[in-house]
Amino acid sequence: MAKICLCLTAKTLDRNLEILGKYRKHADIAELRVDCLAPDERLQIRNFPQQADIPLILTIRRTVDGGHFEGGEGARINLMARGLAFADADRRRNFAYLDIEDDLNVPSLEEATRTFGTRIIRSYHNIKGTDSNLAEKIRSMPHSGDDIVKVSVTANSITDTIALLRAGKRSGKQEKILIAMGRYGICSRILAEQFGSFLCYTSALTETDSPAAAPGQIDIKELAELYRFRNITAATKVYGITGYPLNVTASPQFFNTVFRLESMDAVYVPFPANAVGGCIELANALNVFGLSVTVPYKESVIPFLAEQSPEVDSIGACNTVSRGPEGWTGANTDAGGFSDSLLEFTGRKNLKRARVTVIGAGGAARAVASELRRLGAKTLILNRTILKARELAALYDFAWGSLDSQGIEMMGKYNDIIIQTTSAGMGENNPTDPAALYRFNGKEEVMDLIYHPALTPFLKRAADSGCRVQNGYDMLIRQARYQYTLFTGKEFPEHLLPRIKFENSDGEG
């Protein structure tokens, strides 16, 4: 079972001990990053294993390998020897592991290390990219006895992460630590077990003076509690979300919480991807059971589907793929999530008497428009780019216009319900109001698909004018419930809803 390693990257040993104390219950191993210590602290490392009382890795990372040690190799080797020199029958007083780079050839140091009962982690770092001959690189790393081989490369694309996964599988039985650094390699950390990695390096990222030891590292508490890393085995069902940039997404919080509360052997992983085809290839290689698909891949994922629901056909966008016997099956849960949310909000059974304006004509608006048609609403589509409004309206015989004064005037006849579907106003301090010319009369029911911030400038203006308003949070949860059913074949456990909260969400799905 892969272990959790807490990287200690604070400037003093005392502070590192404090951090270790706070997160000890999540860590199997800790790594003392001596290169992160203040220079005078580096001389005091000898007693640290005894104080820390956890299997410790001694690492002095050079700047060329992504660390902070700027001195020469002589000084570095001296420091390593200083750290190891506490020869003691009680191994708890020694470092359990010493990280030695593959190009550091000091036989006497290796010999002494082994004499002290310390295991060598033979490491290779590529902070620029991923080597083309990775399997060969892993196989040819100098090692002997019970050394562990560590290969840490930078994934500049999702393809690099696939290369690491495949190379790991082809490189024999040697105990390994395999890491794809950067955003495209986040899955290689959470799924260390699937990648065949001995451990996953983490940091205590919520501590301000404990920075990530490498790009893409995950917070130790998040790895242990949200992703339930210690429960992940080869049998664990893997789900996830793909999109770009996918910087912050609420879905892992939602799904992993449901999986935990339901005691399911499943994990939901973010797969930020520079190309949707690469993500599908990785999902195949990892035997992923289902993916949420978000901006900008809801359309480009369609060619990878073996089957698709009628909604995907009519909307032209797919936000859910699940593994079927023939390949990937695509569905669109945005549509159902939206209409459930709207009907609940307005207290209506259908929209046959409603006159509705949709602001926007992008992917989200397409799902909204198809549902408005199904529910019988008389609809006006307004979009900044009028051509797109016309195209979308033509599919359903809706009225259309632009967001200029002429279009806004038309809204006066379609203002029982107004639905804002654009990204205008999304995120922190975004003052954009896509329909700033429209004056609310206070009777409109107004829905904005954005949920972060909770009130966009547009929605706030509506609320201030006396309108009933609703943001996109409810729709987000409702579409995720449909996804849960598609992923697992089970009804969503409604009784758990009060215990599931989306956090840190920015509207990427």
Residues near ligand ATR, by CB under 6 A: 295, 360-365, 383-385, 388, 421-424, 432, 434
Tokens of 351: 């929209």
Tokens of 183: 């955003």
**First and final C-alpha spacing in the chain:** 32
- Cβ neighbors of 256 (< 8 A, separation 6 or more) are 226, 227, 228, 267, 268
Nearest to 43 by CA among 7, 66, 75: 75
How, if at all, do strands 320-324 and 290-293 pair? Answer: antiparallel
Count other C-beta atoms under 10 Å from residue 136's C-beta: 12
Tokens of 407: 């279009």
Task: Name the closest residue to ligand ATR (Cβ).
Answer: 362
Nearer to ligand ATR by C-beta: 181 or 389? 389
Give Rg (Cα) of the chain.
27
Q: How far is the CB of 353 from ligand ATR (least distance, A)?
A: 27
Nearer to ligand ATR by C-beta: 232 or 364? 364
Nearest to 155 by CA among 189, 108, 107, 202: 189
In sequence order, what are the beta bridge partners of 329? 307, 322
Respond yes or no on whether the N-terminal peptide bond of residue 453 is cis (omega within 30° of 0).
yes
Establish how many alpha carbons lie within 13 A of residue 81's alpha carbon, considering only the half-sphere containing its beta carbon.
Answer: 13
Nearer to ligand ATR by C-beta: 55 or 360? 360
Q: How far is the CB of 506 from ligand ATR (least distance, A)?
A: 12
Q: How far is the CB of 297 from ligand ATR (least distance, A)?
A: 10
Nearer to ligand ATR by C-beta: 145 or 303? 303
Nearer to ligand ATR by C-beta: 252 or 363? 363
Nearer to ligand ATR by C-beta: 41 or 508? 508
Q: How far is the CB of 432 from ligand ATR (least distance, A)?
A: 5
User: How far apart are the C-alpha atoms of 295 and 404, rounded to whole Å?
Assistant: 27
**37 within 8 A of 12, measured Cβ to Cβ:** yes
DSSP string, 61-92: -BGGGTS-B-S-HHHHHHHHHHHH----SSGG
Q: How far is the CB of 361 from ligand ATR (least distance, A)?
A: 5
Q: How far is the CB of 422 from ligand ATR (least distance, A)?
A: 3
Is 298 in the active site?
A: yes
Catalytic position from the list 137, 298, 388, 501: 298
DSSP label at residue 225: I
Nearer to ligand ATR by C-beta: 214 or 368? 368
User: How far apart are the C-alpha atoms of 407 and 314, rounded to whole Å?
Assistant: 26
Q: How far is the CB of 456 from ligand ATR (least distance, A)?
A: 11
Residues with a known catalytic role: 298
